């Protein structure tokens, strides 16, 4: 064999090793995310809020409590997050929103939301009024991809629920 083939085989083996490693890492992270989502849904409480403003901004610029800023990993402090400024009762608060529902939240309208701590889990419009602008607006690429991701995850959960559960052998 020539030296070129040996190098190509080594490079191919390294790429396959990296791919397999990322596959298992991704599976582990997906399971962790699903567990966190279940905890968030369990702790969620309904609240009526008036949305004042919504933006994607850096978490340190969002006027969140110091306790929240301390708990955020350092690599996430510089990234932009969906932040909603809302009036809940007499208080005006900054809340972190789920990426999947950020585009659905109407500005300067009252909504019914499920809130877990300072995190908005889901939103339901109370007074839904459609305008001609809303009807003409084409969904962005991000919104279409998020919708497709949610649909595929729902299908995956349905398939996993349909699978029979395998029982381990007893010793």
CA dihedral (58, 59, 61, 63) positive or negative? positive
DSSP state of 78: T
Q: Please give the DSSP secondary-structure letter assigned to residue 82.
A: E
Render pLDDT for 17-33 as a digit per residue (tens, 0 to 9). Answer: 999 999 999 999 999 98
Q: Supply 64's token pair.
A: 């969140």
Give the pLDDT of residue 63: 84
pLDDT for residue 138 is more than 90: no
Q: Provide the 3-class DSSP secondary structure of residue 63.
A: coil
Q: Which of 13-22, 43-52, 153-162 has the highest mean pLDDT?
A: 13-22
pLDDT greater than 60 at residue 81: yes
Which pLDDT score, from 0 to 100, does residue 82 have? 92
Tell me what the mean pLDDT of segment 33-43 comes to: 87
Q: Tell me the pairing of strands 91-97 and 110-116.
A: unpaired
Q: Which domains does the chain have, with CATH numbers?
A: 42-149 (2.40.50.660)
> How many helices (H) does the chain have, and how many strands (E)?
6, 5
């Amino acid at each position: 064999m020539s030296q070129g083939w040996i190098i190509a085989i080594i490079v191919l083996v390294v790429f396959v090793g990296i791919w397999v490693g990322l596959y298992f890492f991704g599976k582990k992270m997906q399971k962790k995310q699903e567990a966190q989502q279940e905890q968030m849904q369990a702790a969620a409480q309904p609240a009526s809020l008036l949305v004042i403003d919504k933006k994607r901004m850096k978490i340190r610029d969002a006027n969140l409590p110091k306790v929240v800023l301390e708990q955020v990993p350092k690599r996430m402090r510089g990234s932009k997050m969906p932040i909603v400024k809302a009036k809940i009762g007499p208080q005006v608060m900054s809340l972190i929103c789920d990426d999947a529902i950020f585009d659905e939240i109407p500005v300067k309208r009252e909504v019914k939301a499920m809130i877990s701590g300072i995190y908005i889990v889901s939103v339901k419009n109370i007074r839904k009024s459609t305008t001609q602008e809303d009807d003409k607006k084409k969904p962005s690429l991000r919104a279409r991809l998020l919708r497709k991701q949610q649909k595929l995850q729902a299908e995956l959960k349905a398939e996993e629920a349909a699978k029979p559960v395998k029982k381990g052998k007893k010793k």
